[in-house]
Amino acid sequence: MRKRVLYYREALLQEIRQFLEQGIDVVIDGEDYDEAESPIEIDMVLENTGYTTYMKNYTGNQDGKIIAVEFNKVKETGK
């Protein structure tokens, strides 16, 4: 992996860990993220870095507290 991709991967993993520590569910392309099993999912998210764009969608409860974050593919461009 290129240096930029590795940096982005680590930053994304750190962000996801922070969500999980706060009790916020994380979903990647419709699949629940489980840190123990899911580093491969992060690699899938990043496999086309530069060609695929992901958007974070936040879900809140009635009190306005974030309870889930979803990472969804929104754009794929030509290589």
Per-residue pLDDT of 8-67, as tens digits, reads 777 877 888 899 889 999 988 788 887 666 666 666 655 655 556 678 999 999 999 999
pTM of the model: 0.70
Domain ranges of the chain: 3-76
What's residue 36's pLDDT? 65
DSSP string, 6-48: HHHHHHHHHHHHHHHHTT-EEEETTEE--TTT-HHHHHHHHTT
Task: Name, in order, each residue with C-beta under 8 angstroms of 59's C-beta and a sequence gap of 6 or more.
Answer: 66, 67, 68, 69, 70
